[in-house]
Chains A and B, each alone.
Chain A
Amino acid sequence: MKKIKFLFGMFTVITTTLFFNACSKDNGPDPDPNPTVADYHFDIFMTVGKHGGMNQGDGTIVKSVDTLTAGTTMIDIQNDGVEFRSGSNVYSMETIVQGKYYYQVPGSEDRFTKLQVVGNSINVIQEQPFVQNTYKVRSYTHAWLDEKTLVIMAANGAANQIIWTKLNADNMSILAEGTLNLPLPEGATVFNASGILTYNKEAGKLYYFYFGKNKSGRGGVATSKFLVAVINPSTMAVESKKVNTLAGEMAGSAYGELMQNCVMYDENGHLYLSTFSDANSMEEGHLLRIRKGETDFEANYEGYPGADGKLLTVQYLGGGKALVYARNDASGTAIDSYSHYYSIINLNTGARERLKYNGQEIAYSGGRFAQRTVVIDGKAYIGVNTADSNPCIYIYDIASGSVKKGAEIAEGYYFDMLRVVKNNE
């Protein structure tokens, strides 16, 4: 009996931990530590005619569905779904999502907006005009200090300083804003556009990954490998900064994690960052780790050894496993090349296995700028866009490792993004 109780207790702890980590994109707040999928719905971002990323979002349509399991009607946006705009403003699909809401700088580039997609309508919950620092749509990075406090950060227009704003996510009021005391890296004249900001809860610090370039524009070249700055979240003082020695550039340097997840934490509080280096005639992906409480990358750690191309997104699944979306560069590096694939990786050993269904590896997907995976309630919902069939969802059961086929999505659109959003009570 004691054994059963012990096993039950262990099971509860493990599943709770899994859920806790699964619903967090980074180490941000989780007001709902035991999420069940019934309390959530899925928002599928599809665009017509053009990809929705890169702020081309005029044709972005959001379709909300309660389930992504098989047997549901094919998901389509013909005369259904809502255009991602309201009034005279247009919203970018590169957006922050947390709980029930989306948060972003909209096309007017004069405010912060908190909004909600409800069925086929957009509800603007609260807005806040810029007061001091101003941001561009889709060109910023963010971190949650707690469930109410959101930090936005980006390079300024001249790209020679990093500006930040703290927001109260409840009423969207500006709590504080300023400019980081962060000098340009040696030899650089500009920062990259946004960098990657994350709140390392275990360390109680903000970690900011960035690099400098010798000039702005298309000809600009990074002056060094990327750096990590450690920031006191209360004072926003930069406490340390250091050039990493392991990889050239972090993923998502231009638009933070507004679309793609490139930072994750395990249950031990270790931070993982998706990065790449130009090496071996490709953009060679690396998954780097900063151990709990540390401020620099673990020198000998490589979570994604033997990469065949760029590592695009990472999401922690629990139990030392992660779901990654990567590219086989030899099969094509264009945005739409069918060269992207999902794997489950073991963070402790570096071993990885490409996602399979019925014993067969799922074919390559197209879509470099895509985030079609969410993790909730012990499952990873994985959207694919393979060359020979309709886009669809595969459902990966984290505990058992089994994969089931889920809902199908009608062909003809760009299926760029999948989000899981809490329902209204």
Chain B
Amino acid sequence: MRFLFIFITLASLLPTGLYGQEKVPEEKEVKLEEATVYGKSRVQQVRESSFAVNALQIGGAIQNTSANLNNIIGRSASVRIREEGGAGSDFDLSINGLSGNSVRYFIDGVPLSSLGSGVSLANIPTNIIERVEIYKGVVPAHLGADALGGAINIITKKNQRNYLDVSYGAGSFHTHKADFNAQFIAPKTRLIIRPVIGVNYAKNDYTMKGVEVWDEASRKYIPVNRQRFHDDYFSLFGQIEVGFANKSWADAFFVSASYAEINKELQTGSIQSKVYGMAERESDAWNISVRYQKRDFIIKKLQLNASLSHAWDHSLTVDTAYRKYDWNGNYIESSRSEITGRARSMRHYKRPATIVRTNFDYRLNEAHSLNVNYLLNRMSNDRYDDVDADFEPSTDVLMKHIVGLSYNQSVLKGRMNNTFFVKEYINYMNIRQSDLSSITGSKNVTGSTTQDFIGYGAGSRFTIAEHLSIKASYEHSVRLPLTRELLGNGTTVYANVALKPESSNNINLGVFGSWDFASGHTLYYEANGFLRYADNYIQARVSEKEGTLQYENIPGVHIKGVEGEVRYNWQNKLQLLANISYQDARDQNKYKTDGKPSATYNNRVPNQPWLFGNAEANYTWHDVALPESKLRIGGTFQWVYWYFLTWEAYGARESKARIPEQRICNADLTYSWNRERYNIALECANIFDETAYDNYKLQKPGRSFFVKFRLFIN
């Protein structure tokens, strides 16, 4: 780690004066017959930054299909998405082995949660997205995130022309998807109006293989195949953005309003033998926001990016049925509710959130720039229950201020880029609960309190030769506790206001490059190694009062791993991609809660995929049947090696529960004509109908088909 710092610091002291004033040259290739200039795409620029980052272009080829962001991001190196079921199911995304709250999500640099808690990678319309940046371990200061393991930043399209993008698709398991996305620019005033609507619906009635049902004749549970019967999912996202671009007073000024609604029936609990038939979850959120962008703001070379948003977010979990269902869809009248097994409840969470982001970028010259980012995230947590009279409503307030300062330099004629950054995290909370103060620690923290933490890091990219660059980055990252972790949930989770943030020292070291080894042939490769030393993990443990939980800090996990990716492109006709990731996460908890040595110390963390890969192939024919048409055939293969559900060293291996190996093949065929104005795609997911699990015994969908039509007028 020290070596890394010294390396980057020394590199930064290189004589920038010799090179610093020169412009970074564009990559170019000169042919005798014709001159072709290749400008680096924004995606390529991001990949070549000093951060360990995957950048994915969300082009028409992807938007023509039904793939959602989860599907797309899940195919990139070091990212693993574990889904509990079909469309709309809960998922967990990990980057280099760190998952859950360790990863933060942004849309155009603003926390995605500003659109409501229900808006996720699974339901945000892909048609509005230009690219996705996946930061691994080291997160740029301009994102203003308390992310421990990484961040995903979704960049939306910012076209300068009118367009209309409409699509509708339908497929297996009663799945329907419709998206509408357009931009209209008033000719006289240049007022820009951008409406967006995205709707998803699925019954998710796919077949569950080998589930147990009771056979009275034999008086045994027997394995059968049954369709899911209570897994409907509906999501609606609507947004309208109105504003101006490229005016003297603003490069961009937009006001927007959005509404998101998600309704989800719940089919199972954490194991598939726990079957629900009535429980459901709903959420809706309104958002208004304004954003302003201006170059040469007040002074030359100073750019301002500012935004303000407020969301009224409301979620509801309905657990009112006293029924016990089985996989036949039958039920008996039960003595208790489905999810909690207690009294009926309709639990509401209202979490109004205000987010302010201000970013100043000052370019000292072509080679040096400073960036200051401020993010305020204020969230209330208002809980109440419609039917459970014993539930104690409460309102807690949590406010985060995250200030980031970064210095970026480009030296050696652009062969080297360095970034140094420091982040300050300020956590403010107002504790309104005072009961059980000896357990919650609230006797020492009364009323409001403020905590302050510092994170820092650096990154460097150096181009050794035309086809070979190396990059290294480091961050001491911090993840502030969530409201639930700090303040409990009023019923089963106690507050622990003394909870410290999680922290991690994240290190990346990689090589990459691209090689145009023959005319029209481009090979891109990338290999990275990474270390994650996460400490002060926030983990739930059973509290003194039985049946309740309390979050506490424990020593964390150390992860080391490698990943590699190779991409090949032939004349934009043939694209091949393959990547593989290996990560070894070892528990660092030396002692059990009784203070004695723990058997888990330095053991591989269970229930986490540790070896997985993806492969992808696409081929495009031009002018097939119709002029200016394209026929594209694509296939993807996802592979995850099996892993143990529990600590691998303990218990007879033959008796241990495993999450089996996954080998999923998908294929799609897309035909576009009239310059991609009309597009139709046929897809088949899980061609070989593999029984796939991301989580123990929670089956994912089998083979499915989907057809989608897209009209794009530009």
Residue ranges of A at the interface with B (Cβ–Cβ < 8 Å): 48-51, 54, 56, 58-59, 61, 77-83, 85, 87-90, 107-111, 120-122, 126-136, 139, 156-159, 161, 163, 171, 173, 189-190, 193, 215-220, 254, 333-336, 338, 366-367, 369, 385, 387, 410-414
Contacts and interface: CB of A to CB of B under 8 A. Distances in A.
A127 B221 contact: yes
B647 interface: yes
B334 A134 contact: yes
Contacts of A108: 271, 273-274
A329 to B, nearest CB: 12
A335 B650 contact: no
B651 A61 contact: yes
Given A78-B599, A336-B595, 12 more contacts: A48-B647, A49-B589, A77-B651, A83-B656, A109-B274, A128-B219, A134-B335, A135-B335, A158-B344, A173-B219, A387-B595, A411-B596
A189 B390 contact: yes
Contacts of B364: none
A179 to B, nearest CB: 9
B597 A412 contact: yes
Given A59-B646, A335-B542, A131 B332 contact: yes
A129 B390 contact: no
Given A88-B271, A88-B273, A219-B392, A81 B652 contact: yes
Given A51-B542, A79-B651, A220 B273 contact: no
Interface string B617-653: 0000000000000000000000000000111011111
B594 A367 contact: yes
A107 B273 contact: yes
B227 interface: no
Contacts of B342: 157-159, 216
Given A59-B646, A156-B336, A157-B334, A82 B655 contact: yes
B673 to A, nearest CB: 49
Given A48-B600, A216-B390, A335 B332 contact: no
Contact of A77 (B390, B547, B597, B650): B650
A81 B654 CA distance: 10
B391 interface: yes
B652 A54 contact: no
Contacts of B548: 218
A59 B600 CA distance: 11
A300 B334 CA distance: 43
A416 B229 CA distance: 40
B324 interface: yes
Given A48-B647, A83-B655, A190-B390, A334 B544 contact: yes
B27 interface: no
Interface of B: 211-212, 214, 219-221, 271-275, 322, 324, 326, 332-337, 340-344, 389-392, 435-436, 490-492, 494, 541-542, 544-548, 587, 589, 592-600, 645-647, 649-657, 697
B491 A110 contact: no
Contacts of B491: 217-218
A134 B647 contact: no
Contacts of B651: 61, 77, 79-83, 120
A391 to B, nearest CB: 9
Contacts of B650: 48, 59, 61, 77-79, 81, 413
A79 B651 CA distance: 5
B697 A88 contact: yes
Question: Interface on chain A toward B: helix, strand, loop, or mixed SS?
Answer: loop
A116 to B, nearest CB: 14
A110 B212 CA distance: 11
Contacts of B272: 88
A18 B656 CA distance: 40
Given A108-B274, A127-B221, A216-B343, A163 B593 contact: no
B84 to A, nearest CB: 14
A79 B598 CA distance: 16
Contacts of A189: 390
10 contacts: A58-B645, A80-B651, A82-B652, A83-B646, A88-B273, A110-B324, A110-B326, A127-B221, A157-B340, A338-B594
B219 A126 contact: yes
Nearest to A334: B544
A383 to B, nearest CB: 14
Most chain-A CB neighbours within 10 Å: which of B220, B324, B326, B649?
B324
A136 B334 CA distance: 11
Q: Which of B274, B490, B597 is packed against the most chain A CB atoms within 10 Å?
A: B274
Contacts of B656: 83
A249 to B, nearest CB: 13
B344 A54 contact: no
Nearest to A163: B335
Contacts of B653: 79
A254 B337 CA distance: 18
A129 B220 contact: no
Nearest to A388: B596
Interface-central residue, B342, B344, B651, B652, by most chain A CB under 10 Å: B651
Contact of A335 (B337, B492, B544, B597): B544
Nearest to A132: B332
Contacts of B645: 58
B597 to A, nearest CB: 6
Contacts of A133: 335
A336 B594 contact: yes
A219 B490 CA distance: 9
A89 to B, nearest CB: 5
A58 B332 CA distance: 28
B274 A217 contact: no
A419 to B, nearest CB: 17
Given A107-B271, A130-B332, A254-B546, A49 B647 contact: yes
Contacts of A139: 341
Contacts of B214: 111, 129
Contacts of B332: 130-132, 134
A79 B652 contact: yes
A90 to B, nearest CB: 7
A88 B343 contact: no
Contact of B335 (A78, A88, A127, A157): A157
6 closest cross-chain pairs (CB), A and B: A157-B336, A412-B599, A108-B273, A336-B594, A120-B652, A366-B594
Interface core residue of B221, B595, B650, B654 (most chain A CB under 10 Å)? B650
B542 A54 contact: yes
A219 B435 contact: yes
A163 B650 CA distance: 39
Nearest to A173: B219
A158 B697 CA distance: 30
Contacts of A338: 594
B365 to A, nearest CB: 55
**For A58, A134, A336, which residue has the most chain B Cβ atoms within 10 angstroms?**
A134
Contacts of A121: 655
Contacts of B211: 88
Contacts of B324: 109-110, 130, 134
A121 B654 CA distance: 9
Contacts of A132: 332-333
Given A58-B645, A82-B655, A366-B594, A215 B219 contact: no
A82 to B, nearest CB: 4
A216 B647 CA distance: 36
A124 to B, nearest CB: 9
B200 to A, nearest CB: 29
Given A88-B273, A108-B273, A48 B599 contact: yes
Contacts of A110: 273-275, 324, 326
A335 B542 CA distance: 9
A385 B214 CA distance: 42
B599 A54 contact: no
Contacts of A158: 336, 342-344
A310 B495 CA distance: 26
A219 B653 CA distance: 44
B599 A413 contact: yes
A248 to B, nearest CB: 16
